[in-house]
A and B are shown apart, each in its own frame.
Chain A
């Protein structure tokens, strides 16, 4: 390993950048403290009707998130493998998207986003299996009182998240796993890991239900009516995923998507084992051109992912959009500069990796942090991820082929913990809004320790559940279909041995 001496021009540039950020940060902290509280609009007596703009935005966002998976992620990953495995990676990502499209419709949506009765803290039920009772006139709650969107728009938006999350995992064991094993593992993983964890974090009480129950409580005249109304309110606020109830903030899926997929990838890389020839053979990416196209498509698609996660089209949506822009720019640039200083050359793969790390980190923070907070988050995440994908990975020797753990899990953890810090109104964040803490009933307050404990709980719970269940599922898949192709097949390349075709015929 060669380390060049820090380039003084690069260092000076970084120092100036850091100084500018510090100034901007302080300004934002002063300017934005007043703007935390949200209006609690009185619930309308008539059922609210979806707004056309909100509906259009959610459908466009859903299409953008699909574009992140195919072709975005598929090309980002595909460019990083060797020519002989290009078609296998593209097929794996495409097949996962298609398979989850089927299972999400049949039972996934219901498992993630319905009331699971006595188990509802941990998993939903099957009341909406096969989209039972969901039609064009059904509505889903947003985070604002009196604002709803068509439930089918909510369904398809959440479907695209369920598609990309398992697709992220395949990068960890790329180039050395059977296609049948990928499909079986992802089928099991999405069922036993993704749908429950999505329920933990994102199954929240509808703001209108909470407001109505609270109004009924206020209106209750005597003791018995008060007790009944209080019980009703407790029922509404209690029927949520347990991490949502614990006050963990995750705007667009830092824990549910990135930490979750990242740890499942690391466990997979360890259980599946290293690629044949790892550490000896040349395993350079076959097309950084494809990787750059993929990373750029991910960035564009991520606006649907993060800004779409506001579920309506308003100022918070714009905030999430801007945060996604500035954090990613900061992270892409800081990866490039840090790499230039410590590794000697600023690389295309470096700036693309930095962009993805920034997108990952800003995901949970996108609707909670102020733009300057998001910028700092972006600048910070890249050096840490770079340290993990180079130094830590090399010293432990695991073959996380495309750095799913180093970028998504580590970036996700930094984002999840960073969200707990940057939501602070004193740092330009939006503060604890009423919908983020329906159960805690502490809207408008912010306590660093409380929030960090909640964030840490979400991170640890996701790491443990996803890590342990994934390990069990890999073993089950290994017994049923076998995880690895033979050494000869792996040498030949999965394009030919699994799919009977080549990605390129020159």
Chain B
């Protein structure tokens, strides 16, 4: 099992969710985050005060999938979240040791 963690542009969330649903991934966790990569921030001016805003709002999604589904998941996220511009985000894949569904007690693959 793996956790697929992706940082994406906020307005791409719905498309990514649809793409994941289409390949049979049901359930994901979403967090509003801020960060920076190669994309530069912007400047805000309030009367005379200028602020360089270098942390941009992004969405972090986390999906737990079976190992054989990882490639399909990555493809789905990549194609849905891509605009071709700097700031599209990144995908990280992390090993997942164990999973439990709280309601039933089912474990691992059955819990996903």
Q: Which A residues are closer than 8 A to B by beta carbons?
A: 1-2, 80, 282-285, 343, 345, 347, 349-350, 353, 386, 389-391, 393-394, 403, 406
Contact = CB atoms under 8 A, between A and B. Distances in A.
B31 interface: no
B104 interface: no
B97 interface: no
Interface of B: 43-51, 53
A345 B46 contact: no
B69 to A, nearest CB: 36
19 contacts: A1-B50, A2-B43, A2-B50, A80-B46, A282-B51, A282-B53, A283-B51, A284-B46, A345-B45, A347-B45, A347-B46, A349-B46, A349-B47, A353-B47, A389-B47, A390-B47, A390-B48, A403-B47, A406-B47
B86 to A, nearest CB: 21
Nearest to A390: B48
Contacts, number: 31
Contacts of B47: 349-350, 353, 386, 389-390, 403, 406
A406 B49 CA distance: 13
Q: From DSSP, what is the main secondary structure of chain B's interface residues?
A: strand
Contacts of A2: 43, 50
Contacts of A285: 46
9 closest A-B pairs by CB: A390-B48, A389-B47, A282-B51, A389-B48, A394-B48, A393-B48, A349-B46, A284-B51, A284-B46
A284 B44 contact: yes
A283 B47 CA distance: 12
A221 to B, nearest CB: 67
B66 to A, nearest CB: 37
Contacts of B44: 284
Contacts of A282: 51, 53
Contact of A343 (B45, B51, B53): B45
Given A285-B46, A347-B46, A349-B47, 20 more contacts: A1-B50, A2-B43, A2-B50, A282-B51, A282-B53, A283-B49, A283-B51, A284-B46, A284-B49, A284-B51, A345-B45, A347-B45, A353-B47, A386-B47, A389-B47, A389-B48, A390-B47, A393-B48, A394-B48, A406-B47
Contacts of B53: 282
